[in-house]
Amino acid sequence: MSWCDIGVNFTDKRLLFEPVFERALAADVSHIIITGTNIAKSQQAIQLAQHYPNHLSTTAGVHPHDASQFNVQTISELKALAESECVVAIGECGLDFNRNFSTPEQQTFAFEQQLKLACDLGLPVFLHERDAFEVQIKLLTKYRNALKGGVVHCFTGDSAQMNRYLDLDLYIGITGWVCDLKRGQALREAVKSLPLNRVLLETDAPYLRPKGLANNRKVDNGNNEPAYLPFVAEEVARLMATDMQSLQLASQTNTQALFNISSITTIHAG
The residues facing 32 across adjacent strands are: 5, 56
CA distance 148 to 82: 15
128 annotated ligand binder: yes
Question: Contact 237/7 with Cβ under 8 angstroms?
Answer: no
Dihedral sign, Cα of residue 177, residue 198, residue 127, residue 44: positive
63 annotated ligand binder: no
Q: Backbone phi, then psi, for 105, in 5-degree steps?
A: -65, -45
92 annotated ligand binder: yes
CA distance 45 to 87: 9
Q: In what order do the strands lie in the sheet with 3-8?
A: 3-8, 29-34, 56-60, 87-96, 125-130, 150-152, 171-174, 199-201
Question: Contact 131/149 with Cβ under 8 angstroms?
Answer: no
65 annotated ligand binder: no
Alpha helices in the chain (DSSP H): 17-26, 39-51, 72-81, 104-121, 133-143, 159-167, 185-191, 217-220, 229-239, 244-259
Q: Which residue ranges are tagged as binding site?
A: 92, 128, 153, 204
List, as residue ranges, the binding site for a divalent metal cation.
Answer: 92, 128, 153, 204
